[in-house]
Structure 1
């Protein structure tokens, strides 16, 4: 079976998180002056993964402690909190901790890569908001633990097509514009229609550099799009989708229509 339960990855993640003493449980906690700040996931961009793809991302943060930084660790997870996570990703380091580089006597930049894989720790039900669980410890054993140090989006790659016909067409005649909005189906390892979504039909007149929205069309149960417009001038028609929390924005390449 290609897809394994995302929960399998979670069990391993939680087991390893216990090794991050004093992180015996997931909830926030601290002792002393250790601080975590400036968490950045994937350069601040959503993590977009194709139907069968793998995405390796970098997570970095700053740790401060008056005695210096001993170690730090981050776990990426999906769920209301770490105790109820239904998927996760551990750092791609041997000990699953971040690699910390000293900036000065009290500050270090801690960084690690993580891998998100369609059909493994990415299944359809976990698309959307993920969180970073993070912990850091100073050389004096002070520590800080954050259950939600940062949020980010894990999204299903989207695709959009367009076709305007007939071509060429007489001025004032009716054009039929079809297309399809699909997105990665991580469970099935293919692209499936994204239904009931509002998609804009846009037009760019020949010689212009910008598109104007003509109308909004709703995708059907299979993600298909279809509408009609009156041909007015030579130019390009495209569909444009604004995106959702689980699926990124996408625009089709313009289809040129010659108006006689």
Structure 2
């Protein structure tokens, strides 16, 4: 077996960008000389959902489908898919791997998909692991030569693994309310904690109080509020007409977005 020290390229299906592929070892002495590295194309992470984003709950494992078309002059024997958290490939913060299931397209090409398991009780045991994970493919050809395709320097080859957030039912009081009277509108935000395997208050994050007059049409932002130390958002507004209130959270680089269920208010 020879580990290739060559460069191959791949194209991400969603963004049509090049993937720099770098081997991690030099050829062993006396190994067969095969300089035709495997190539990786049509890369798909989580079916390209929301910029390769995956939300993981506090205590429930999540499968992440990752696939690519892999080609080699010697054919494809096997492929492993790897996600790595951390810039240092030698000392990553965490690694998630899975063997891919490959289907032969022709003598030199296979379509391969791996189902990687993100598990808060095993490999996502720390909230600091939320964020950008780098993607690699390790292909073994028909003669046992290995090519490692490492996407560290290509932002098309990654997954965003984020903590799931939750917004409670929006509650507006008093109900019914007289026109011109004050309404207090509340909702509570929590976020998955991978460290404790429970949902905890989402503290100090901006949420949007939104209002829609009547029963149809778009919601409009009324106020921007930060959640308190218990995850609550509360705002006071003037009741003007029948309509629905809700809170909306846009998410962050580490947390998923969430919108609360509406509370429809009758104004007398």
Aligned length: 234
Aligned ranges for residues 78-227 of structure 1 at < 5 Å?
Answer: 78-91=85-98, 97-122=99-124, 123-140=126-143, 143-148=146-151, 150-161=157-168, 162-227=170-235
What is the TM-score normalised by the length of structure 2?
0.81
Residues 15-36 of structure 1: CA deviation (Å, up to 9, x unaligned) = xxxxx97389xx9229424211
Work out the CA distance in 2 between the residues paired with 1:258 and 1:124.
42
SS at match of 1:243: coil
- For 2:94 and 2:75, the matched residues in 1 are separated by 33
1:21/1:72 Cα in 2 relative to 1: closer, same or farther (>3 Å)? farther
Q: Unpaired segments of 5 or more residues in structure 1?
A: 1-19, 92-96
Asked if 1 retains the 8 angstrom alpha-carbon contact of 2:171 and 2:186, the reply is yes
Q: If the length of structure 1 is used for normalisation, what is the TM-score?
A: 0.83
SS in structure 1 opposite 2:225?
A: strand
| Backbone CA RMSD of aligned residues | 2.2
Offset from partner CA, 1:38-66 (integer Å, 9 cap, x none): 22222123221111111122211111122
**Cross-structure match for 1:9:** none
The counterpart of 2:251, out of the listed 225, 240, 243, is: 243
- SS of the aligned residue for 1:84 comes to coil
Check if 1:39 corresponds to 2:43: yes
- Give the CA deviation at 1:71: 2.1
